[in-house]
Amino acid sequence: MSSPWWRGATLYQIYPRSFADANGDGVGDLPGVTARLPYVAALGVDGIWLSPFFTSPMRDFGYDVADHLGVDPLFGTGADFDALLAEAHRLGLKVVIDQVWSHTAAEHPWFVESRASRDNAKADWYVWADARPDGSPPNNWQSWMGGPAWRWEPRRRQYHLHNFLPQMPDLNFHCPAVQDAVLDIARHWLDRGVDGFRLDTANLYFHSRGLEDNPPLPEDRRGDAPVLMQQHRHNADQPEAPAFFERLRALMDRYGERMAVAEIGGAEPLPTMVAYTQSTQEVQRLHTAYSFAFLGDRPDAAQVLRCLAPWGEGAGRDAWPSWAFSNHDAPRVASRWGDGAAGAFAFGGRADGRPVAAGATPVTWLALLLALRGTVFLYQGEELGLPQSTLAFEHIRDPYGLANWPLNPGRDGCRTPFPWQADAPQHGFSRAARTWLPVDPAHAPLAVDRQEADPGSTLHATRRLLALRRAHPALRLGSLQALMAEGDVLVLRREHGEGAHRDALLLAFNLGATPATLPWPAAAATRAEPLFTHAGAARRGEQLHLPPGAVLVAPLA
């Protein structure tokens, strides 16, 4: 295929703290990741997304960066990262690294200087504002970690903005020097040889200079936390952002086929995803973006199509989406949508939407994810069907979970150590007597060694599905047409190419717990037996039988 490598690619997210511990201190590290890369390559993915490993006080476990160019000793050394990069490339894996640019740790030298006075060289590098006459914060903006998004700094006698923890001050992207410094960070890692960036909270880079109050959400759309009770009209999704992304894209294009994927939060992320990734011959923005669209309650067939619709019309035709069903910020999809506890969505959301589907399995969700048009992110353990872990309060480390226990236990339940061996100490993750989060006994039967020995396991199904996606341009790059979307039944047609190079597939899913029988789609004549089936899906004459959780993939004539 002549298309860039990242279009339609599948990237495997590695959360280093929890993947593999090489030095035995109970925390995963870069040498541990390097040692396990052959396993990742054998899945059939195109590359990895590596969560932060930079120098950090670890209040938010690496998403509070104190040195964007340094490797935190907890994870290893710069040489360890270079070795990881070399081994990944040897195995044919691309390496995309997290970049946290919307904010820094309070310990970052930039902030230490900026907070010292109002007239130093970096005085405008962060978002500072005077108090109201009564001493209260300048507006009503709320932090995603709880409480107002402003913290008083006595050295300057001003407030600084923090969309997350108070010790994570927001950078001021309206300052040209900040943009230049961020691009220098990008240049450093591109020179180092990375293949791309995942841009954390990319729609929070800019804020409204007027610092206006955010309006309230309508009552029927409000969440359970203050941050979910207002429209983020003035502290997110600002019109200045695309111009910065054009600068970043111009830099990255000088390095060949590199890619940047933006994380887009918020209640209505799809228009922002399109705006940030819309590229034409005249204007080049980010390569792709993903959102939390599929990281909340279970969708029905129509909701899946609504998420996919913007990329088939209007400005979306010149944009490219990415999708994830699990990551380090959300309860695992096997529990959230499948036969298990739904779990509250991280950062104060609610789990009062569609109920879990008792008939669906992790393979159901994997097949759906890999059928979507776009680039795909697979979270470590998703290929094993790992359920969400439940931790006792004394084991919680996530600052959000500590603040909101017991209503919301936070994000630790999706970050417990990876189970490599069912019967080994710490499931083969570490030789330490105690790990940073406890291993989950419920994960032992799903460990890699157990699933390797079972041809019917989720792990083997994942490899078959990834091989199917790699082999079929229709899945990686093709158009998407909905043949049916009723209730929990979704039937898609994916197609790419013409004539002898045409590749066309039928994909049918039952996302719910009720069996479905429907006429074989008239527009879907098939020339061969199905390429993949799950949970008893079958064509019987001119009927398609889809038991709960069933999946069928068939070639089309």
By annotation, the residues acting in catalysis are: 200, 263
Q: Which two tokens stand for residue 341?
A: 């506890």
Q: CA–CA separation, 237 vs 418, rounded Å? A: 35
Which residues partner with 303 through β-bridges? none
The C-alpha torsion from 310 through 330 and 286 to 92, rounded to 10°, is -110
- CA–CA separation, 467 and 512 (whole Å): 26
d(CA 504, CA 525): 10
In angstroms, rounded to a whole number, what is the distance separating the alpha carbons of residues 388 and 337?
11
CA 545 to centroid of chain Cα atoms? 33
User: Residue 338 carries which side chain, given as an amino acid letter?
Assistant: G
Q: Are 233 and 214 in contact (CB under 8 A)?
A: yes
Using CA atoms, how far residue 303 sits from 40, 183, 368, in Å, is 31, 37, 13
C-alpha 185 chain-centroid distance = 22
Both tokens assigned to 149: 């998004």
Query: In this structure, how many other beta carbons lie within 10 angstroms of the beta carbon of residue 527?
Result: 9
CA distance 512 to 15: 30
d(CA 81, CA 262): 23
Please name the residues in contact with 155: beta carbons below 8 A apart, sequence gap of 6 or more. 115, 116, 117
- Sign of the CA dihedral with 12 first, then 327, 552, and 527 last: negative
Instruction: Please state, in angstroms and rounded to a whole number, the distance separating the CA atoms of residues 57 and 70.
Output: 13
DSSP assignment of 25-44 equals SSS--HHHHHHHHHHHHHHT
- Cα(291)–Cα(272) distance, rounded to whole angstroms? 9
How far, CA to CA in Å, does 178 sit from each of 98, 125, 185, 440?
Answer: 18, 6, 11, 42
Q: How far apart are CA 507 and CA 454, in angstroms?
A: 25
The phi and psi torsions of 518 (rounded to 5 degrees) equal -145, 160
What is the Cα–Cα distance from 388 to 51, expressed in whole angstroms? Answer: 19
